[in-house]
Amino acid sequence: MSQTDTLHLIDHPLVAHKMTLLRRKESSTKTFRQLVNEIAALVAYEVLRDVPLHDVEIETPLETMTGRMIDGKKLVFVSILRAGTGILDGMLDVVPSARVGHIGLYRDPKTLVAVEYYFKMPGDLHERDVVIVDPMLATGNSAVAAVDRLKECGPKSIKFVCLLTCPEGVAAMREAHPDVPIYTAAVDRQLDEHGYILPGLGDAGDRIFGTK
């Protein structure tokens, strides 16, 4: 993994390979969804690399030993609807006991500004670490709005996970929330005039759900 500041680029060969398959326009809905799941699970390993552990005494069938387990209250994965759901499933495969929050934001097609229509989080958020997931960090409007809203709940920490971003999205997040690390599987060239990432992979939500 390489890291610049708050940006963590996960450059594992398996991730690069699966991202290339994901981007291809021929990939079917089934393939696309499966790949998003697989990449999300791989990304989860890096995102959770620094979670604190505590010692626990256990008994194996042979003797007593001290093992290590993740410390503190259960993590919270927050999915930005609707495309975040694809990543969420892959991350839950790796951390099945995580709590889940949802935030509904849509992009106003004219202004590209994020408008909130749903917000539901687990309790005790101030005692939990939050990982926000959305496949695309494009203009950054949704990501910034989601972090703004989550910060009102005062979680212990916030990380942001996407599969693909671009310089504009990274800059927007860094400007608004320099304290929030961004994890991504790739950084593409640029945004187009409609707020799509180039070369990108198209509309992630439509490709995950087969709605186009």
Which residues are known binding-site members for uracil?
197, 202-204
Minimum distance, C-beta of residue 101 to ligand URA, in the bound complex (Å): 20
168 touches ligand URA (CB under 6 A): no
Minimum distance, C-beta of residue 192 to ligand URA, in the bound complex (Å): 8
Q: Which of 60, 64, 66, 111 is catalytic?
A: 111
Sequential DSSP letters for the chain? -EEETTEEE---HHHHHHHHHHH-TT--HHHHHHHHHHHHHHHHHHHTTT--EEEEEEE-SS-EEEEEEE-SSPPEEEEEETTHHHHHHHHHHH-TT-EEEEEEEEE-TTT--EEEEEEE--S-GGGSEEEEE-SEESSSHHHHHHHHHHHHT--SEEEEE-SEE-HHHHHHHHHH-TTS-EEESEE-SEE-TTS-EESS-S-HHHHHHT--
80 touches ligand URA (CB under 6 A): no
Q: Show the site string, 110-139: x = touches ligand URA by CB under 6 A, - = not.
A: --------------------------x-x-
- Please confirm, yes or no, whether 5 is among the known catalytic residues: no
Q: Which of 6, 29, 31, 107 is catalytic?
A: 107
- Please confirm, yes or no, whether 188 is among the known catalytic residues: no
90 touches ligand URA (CB under 6 A): no
- Please confirm, yes or no, whether 184 is among the known catalytic residues: no
Residues 136-165 that bind ligand URA (CB under 6 A): 136, 138
Binding residue positions for 5-phospho-alpha-D-ribose 1-diphosphate? 82, 107, 134-142, 203
39 touches ligand URA (CB under 6 A): no
Region binding ligand URA by CB under 6 A among candidate stretches 20-28, 60-68, 177-185, 200-208: 200-208
Catalytic residue list:
107, 111, 203, 206
Binding site for ligand URA (CB under 6 A): 136, 138, 195-197, 200, 203-205
